Amino acid sequence: MPGIIKEGGVPVRQVPVFIAWIVNAFENSSQYSEYYLDLRTGDVKFYCPMDFPEHKEKVERLDKSENYMKLPKLEKELAHRVKREFIDLTDDPGLKDLLEKALTADIKFRMALMELENECARLKWYQFQNERYAEYLRDWFKEKGIELVEKPPINVLECNKGR
């Protein structure tokens, strides 16, 4: 059950979440869809009023609810800054050059990385990106009085036994 603790005299609501789910929703955000965090359960809900008119009413209700918070949208400036940080930390001159060109030409990093036959470089990029986005989201929620607390991993096989 999420709790409320005081940090420097300011109430902070703790919400148990799977950070990976929130990061995924954040990465997939668009102007046409909305993701909401259930502040009681930590679940992430997806709504797309443009494609599903019935979602419009749900979104309006959630915007007024104290139990849900709309996730922020991924802004180009943040995505660019994270890519720049990754390039700056890269030791491999060939990879650095490839990513510099991709960033300058505004080509997706994923496409540039897929040209490489270096799975390790791709994995490092995704890990770096996810860590930076998770850090951003933790800070964003903290500014709103919410502390994201990582839920313990779920053993899916155990959860499905009773079904």
Taking residues 25-54, report their average pLDDT: 90
Question: CA-CA distance, 152 to 136, in Å (whole number)?
Answer: 21
Q: Count the Cβ atoms, other than its own, within 10 Å of residue 119.
A: 9
Q: What tokens appear for 102 in the block?
A: 């991709």
Q: What is the pLDDT of residue 101?
A: 87
End-to-end CA distance of the chain: 24
Question: How many alpha carbons lie under 13 Å from residue 76 in its C-beta half-sphere?
Answer: 5
Percent of the chain residues topping a pLDDT of 90: 51
Q: What is the pLDDT of residues 91-148, one digit of tens each?
A: 989 889 888 888 887 677 778 877 777 788 888 999 999 999 999 999 999 999 999 9
Percent of the chain residues topping a pLDDT of 70: 86
Q: Is the pLDDT of residue 8 over 70?
A: no
Q: What is the pLDDT of residue 1?
A: 47
Question: CA-CA distance, 47 to 50, in Å (whole number)?
Answer: 9
Taking residues 84-91, report their average pLDDT: 94
Comparing C-alpha atoms, which of 139, 148, 157 is closest to residue 20?
A: 148
The DSSP output letter for 33 is: -
Chain mean pLDDT for the chain: 86
**pTM for this entry:** 0.83
Question: CA-CA distance, 110 to 103, in Å (whole number)?
Answer: 11
Q: Higher-confidence residue: 127 or 52?
A: 127
